[in-house]
Amino acid sequence: MHILITGAAGMIGRKLIARLVKDGKLNGQNIDKLTLTDVVAPEKPAGFSGKAEIATSDLPAPGEAAKAVAGKPDVIFHLAGVVSGEAETDFDKGYRVNLDGTRALIEAVRKTGGGYKPKVIFTSSIAVYGAPFPYAIPDEFHLTPLTSYGTQKAICELLLADYNRRNILDGVGIRLPTICVRPGKPNKAASGFFSGIIREPLAGQEAILPVADSVRHTHASPRAAVNFLIHAAGLTREQLGPRINLAMPGVCCTVAEQIESLARIAGPKVAARIRREPDELVVRIVSGWSERFDAKRAEALGFRAEATFDDIIRAHIEDELGGKIAA
Amino acid sequence: MHILITGAAGMIGRKLIARLVKDGKLNGQNIDKLTLTDVVAPEKPAGFSGKAEIATSDLPAPGEAAKAVAGKPDVIFHLAGVVSGEAETDFDKGYRVNLDGTRALIEAVRKTGGGYKPKVIFTSSIAVYGAPFPYAIPDEFHLTPLTSYGTQKAICELLLADYNRRNILDGVGIRLPTICVRPGKPNKAASGFFSGIIREPLAGQEAILPVADSVRHTHASPRAAVNFLIHAAGLTREQLGPRINLAMPGVCCTVAEQIESLARIAGPKVAARIRREPDELVVRIVSGWSERFDAKRAEALGFRAEATFDDIIRAHIEDELGGKIAA
């Protein structure tokens, strides 16, 4: 089996690659070849016995998408994209990378012809939804994004569904909840604090909480996100039906409950490293975000997130901290 | 006021132009100039005292959209597009005209700059919905189109909403129900019979009914469609809020009820000109279509369709037959 991963240098990309290399198989078939592309060169996958092709690729540039699929990968994990904040501040770049890049990729698949029909797993986002929301967002809720990023993701979902319907590819779009605990340094994303208030205290550092403890949100660990991608790759056209874009499950909890989990697992001294410093801008942005999902279809199709926020913290300690907490 | 109409040579375009010329005003302002574009040259509007600019224009072609908005029209009625059947059989043409054409138009608006912010009224379609449906489709129902045409319309709605949110334009998308009674010759659209079973008998000709009398659908007259467009042009950003794409109201009835209306208005002899000849393909296509809408938001914003199917037939007799029925 030959797998293409776009956005392979990103956080989820790297974790997915590590998992695929560790498993050696996808959908019960040996992985012979990995093609890894990104705008910066992805790392060579450590410990992979098959063939690895590494390429820098700017998908919307003429000919680039065709090059990426030239080896006719059986499965494409399309993770490439610019993030929410950048898509909002740089209008042209957001539409170019997130919309035109995805369209170029699936058009390249279409143009390949000769019966070529790969499985395409697309990472969408809960940013496709826009407030106001019902108590829990059902699978049939409309997409009224309030950012250009969410708009681009929603458009790509529609394109993917039409290309799927026309048998050009076997598509599935997965709407990732907020990924928490995101490893690495704090970033300037408005959602960054959801990870920061866990990650920094566990590393012995102070974290800022810019919103009220009562803020409710839905989270899944990076490990769960990789599980979603692997699981999506194994679903058949028949299992999915025509509605191929799915909200993923997650752990729904308040910030207060996140902090209680942290205290339970790492002790009150660690949890005390959170400093409350309200930021009106972040408060306003977060107030427009979805809180709770009723991800019935994804659950019925076997997608599983963590059961509790405790599990999310434990996954972070195992995967990122080698089991060690800075007491 | 300067108004641009794309798709001005089409059926709705011509009726909209006639109405605007008759009114002489839009939103209480005198209409000084009409710019009319289409892929074939639109007719010069009869009896218009202002300036009329007529142009053939292929919007997605380089520079064409910029030319169309060069005169900075205050209001743009964007009706141009290829129809459902053609978008399905000609993949490239459908995406090029319906998606790239719309994107080129609103991009041309964005690139104009200098505070230019027109009102843009976009004709979407109930084809943005895809079965299965609830009893009545609510305003919050998701868009899962089952045609490329519906996909293209849904994508354009998302683009329009994002450009609206960014204050590039004041947008409103109106999802037209099936237009009935469509004047002119029978066409090959799967929905053609909804109009045919009224239009042909009223003109003294036989009509074929390819589906069961129990089929339920939602209709609005061409006159109502023009009313929707005019009404949409008068709505403010504040009235619409961020959810600018709206399902329009219509008359929901069965084919049997359509035929009862025809008999009531034109007599049983006219209604007897309908011949039942089931067509399995049409039956299958129509079974995937929406039946009923709960167009709450549009109604609250003052959009009005006919109250009964009798009114729809009467509008056809007045507007197309000069009040005369072939007995």
How many alpha carbons lie under 13 Å from residue B313 in its C-beta half-sphere? 27
Q: Where are the beta strands (DSSP E) in chain A?
A: 2-6, 25-26, 29-30, 33-38, 51-56, 75-78, 119-125, 170-176, 178-179, 207-209, 216-220, 245-247, 251-254, 274-276
Q: pLDDT at residue A188 above 80? A: no
ipTM above 0.95, yes or no: yes
Longest dimension (CA), chain A: 62
Close Cβ partners of B260 (under 8 Å, ≥ 6 residues apart): none
Contact B242 A144 (CB under 8 A): yes
User: Which residues in chain A are contacts of B145 at CB distance < 8 A?
Assistant: 158, 161-162
Angle (nearest 5°) at CA A224 between A202 and A109:
135
B158–A148 CB contact, under 8 Å: no
Q: Hey, how many other C-beta atoms are within 10 angstroms of the C-beta on B121?
A: 25
Does this model's pTM top 0.90? My answer is yes
CB pair distance less than 8 Å for A242 and B91: no
Give tens-digit pLDDT for A75-101.
Answer: 999 999 999 889 999 999 999 999 999
A149 catalytically annotated: yes
Q: Is the peptide bond before B181 cis (omega within 30 degrees of 0)?
A: yes
CA triple B80-B40-B23, angle to 5 deg: 65
For B58, other C-beta atoms within 10 Å of its C-beta total 16
Query: Apex CA B148: angle with CA B146 and CA B150, to 5°?
Result: 65
Cα torsion for A51, A105, A112, B104, to the nearest 10°?
-160
pLDDT tens-digit readout, B172-201:
999 999 999 999 988 777 899 999 999 999
Residue A173, pLDDT score: 98
The whole-angstrom separation of Cα B273 and Cα B205 is 7
Q: Is the pLDDT of residue A46 over 80?
A: yes
Find which of B98, B126, B140, B141 to mutate to test the A interface (most A CBs within 10 Å of its CB). Answer: B140
Q: What mean pLDDT is predicted for residues A269-294?
A: 94
Cβ separation A144–B243 shorter than 8 A: yes
CB spacing of A142 vs B144 below 8 angstroms: no
Dist CA A125 CA A291 (whole Å): 14
- B146 to chain A: which residues are within 8 Å by CB? 165, 242
CB nearest to B142's CB, from A142, A148, A242: A142
Q: Is B138 exposed, middle or buried (0-12, 13-18, 19+ CB in 10 A)?
A: middle
**Helical axes B309-320 vs B222-233, angle rounded to 10°:** 90
Torsion sign (Cα): A76, A80, A84, A88: negative
Q: Which residues neighbour B115 within 8 Å (Cβ) at sequence distance 6 or greater?
A: none
Per-residue model confidence (pLDDT) at position B187: 75
pLDDT of residue B70: 97
> Do B307 and B261 contact (CB within 8 A), yes or no?
no
For position A190, what pLDDT does the model report? 84
- A151 with B141: Cβ contact below 8 A: no
**Which long-range contacts link B109-112 to residues 24+ away (Cβ below 8 Å)?**
B109/B69, B109/B76, B109/B163, B109/B168, B109/B169, B110/B163, B110/B168, B111/B66, B112/B69, B112/B72
Q: Which region, left, alpha or beta, applies to residue A286 given φ > 0 means left and ψ of -120 to 50 means alpha?
A: alpha
Give A327's pLDDT tier (boundaries 50, 70, 90). Answer: confident
- What's the pLDDT at B122? 98
Strand partners, B173: B122, B245
Report the residue from A130, A143, A162 with minimal CB separation from B242.
A130
C-alpha distances in angstroms, A23 versus A18, A30, A320, B57? 9, 9, 19, 55
List for chain B the helix, strand, coil content (%; round to 5). Answer: 40, 20, 40
Rounded Cα distance between B123 and B142, Å, is 18
Residue A158 scores a pLDDT above 80 = yes
Task: Enumerate long-range contacts of B266-272, CB under 8 Å, 24 or more apart.
Answer: B266/B201, B266/B202, B266/B313, B266/B325, B266/B327, B267/B327, B269/B327, B270/B201, B270/B202, B270/B325, B270/B326, B270/B327, B271/B201, B272/B201
Q: Which pLDDT band, with edges at 50, 70 and 90, does A166 fall under?
A: very high
| CB within 8 Å: A142 and B143 | yes
Q: Minimal Cα–Cα distance from B144 to chain A, Å? A: 7
Instruction: Nearest by CB to B165, from A139, A146, A159: name it.
Output: A146
Mark residue B33 as left, alpha or beta (left: phi above 0; alpha: psi -120 to 50; beta: remaining). Answer: beta
| 3-state helix/strand/coil string of A39-51 | CCCCCCCCCCCCE
pLDDT over 80 (residue A187): no
CB–CB contact B142 A146 (8 Å): no
Q: Give the pLDDT confidence score for residue B302 in this predicted structure.
A: 98
Distance from CA of B231 to the nearest CA of A (A): 23
pLDDT, tens digit (0-9, with 9 covering 90-100), for A97-150? 999 999 999 999 999 999 999 999 999 999 999 999 999 999 999 999 999 999
pLDDT mean over B151-170: 98
Query: Can you list the domains of chain B with their CATH numbers?
Result: 2-176+221-247 (3.40.50.720), 192-218+250-292+305-320 (3.90.25.10)
pLDDT value of residue B316: 98
- From chain A, which residues contact B within 8 Å (Cβ)? 91, 130, 134, 139-146, 148, 151, 154-155, 158-159, 161-162, 165-166, 242-243
Compute CA distances B291 → B180, B213, B288, whole Å: 15, 14, 9
> Measuring CA to CA, which residue among A4, A142, A19, A20 is closest to residue A75?
A4
Using an 8 Å CB-CB cutoff, list residues of chain B that contact chain A.
Answer: 91, 130, 134, 139-146, 148, 151, 154-155, 158-159, 161-162, 165-166, 242-243
| B95, B116, B129, B149: the active-site residue | B149
* Span A229-279, pLDDT tens digits: 999 999 999 999 999 999 999 999 999 999 999 999 999 999 999 999 999
Choose among A91, A130, A243: nearest Cβ to B144. A243
**A168: pLDDT strictly greater than 80:** yes
